[in-house]
């Protein structure tokens, strides 16, 4: 109390609070936001931008969006964390994105003449067709169906449910359709 410096500081603080930044000499002293706050803002903006791009992209990731949109599908990190072999992780990632050696994908790049399946059913060979419909693999599919049940024979469950993915990978190995 009654210390000249304290009274001056107190008066200056009151004056600054009442001015709301209109005093140019006080405006120069404004602090930048904390680094943690800036990082948080950047992360939020990046996440918003990514989500917008993810939902608005209509072609490249359609299949993966279909798989991950289901309510019972686990996060990719959890699914891939349950797989112990690197080749199996790569195979699952390719199947989930549709970037594997099915004729539809290869036809896009001119590697195959036609996107149609070689089973001669007239269907385009997609990952969905390969896993759930292709008559060439009925024998292997019946084993898969016994393992996952009839209700598990949906593309989003076969490629998105932790409990069913291992059976899907076994089916792929049994069919010997892919050489990777």
Quote the pTM value: 0.62
Q: C-alpha distances in angstroms, 14 versus 20, 21, 119?
A: 10, 12, 83
pLDDT number for residue 156: 85
Q: What is the pLDDT of residues 159-170, one digit of tens each?
A: 888 889 999 999
- Phi, psi of 144, deg, nearest 5: -60, -45
* pLDDT > 90 in the chain, percent: 41
Residues 73, 152 contacting (CB under 8 angstroms): no
The overall average pLDDT reported for the chain is 82
For residue 70, what pLDDT band results from cuts at 50, 70 and 90?
A: low
């Amino acid at each position: 109390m009654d210390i000249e410096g304290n009274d001056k500081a107190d008066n200056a603080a009151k004056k600054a609070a009442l001015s709301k930044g209109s005093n140019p000499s006080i405006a120069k002293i404004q602090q930048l936001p904390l680094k943690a706050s800036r990082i948080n803002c950047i992360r939020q903006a990046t996440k918003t931008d990514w989500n917008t791009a993810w939902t608005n992209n209509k072609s490249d990731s359609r299949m993966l969006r279909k798989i991950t949109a289901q309510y019972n599908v686990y996060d990719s990190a959890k699914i891939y964390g349950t797989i112990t072999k690197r080749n199996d992780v790569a195979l699952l990632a390719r199947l989930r994105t549709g970037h594997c050696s099915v004729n539809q994908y290869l036809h896009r790049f001119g590697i195959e003449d036609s996107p149609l399946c070689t089973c001669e059913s007239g269907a385009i060979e997609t990952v969905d067709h390969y896993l759930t419909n292709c008559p060439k693999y009925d024998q292997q599919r019946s084993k898969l169906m016994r393992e996952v049940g009839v209700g598990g024979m949906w593309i989003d469950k076969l490629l998105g449910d932790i409990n069913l993915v291992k059976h899907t990978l076994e089916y792929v190995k049994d069919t010997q359709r892919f050489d990777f």
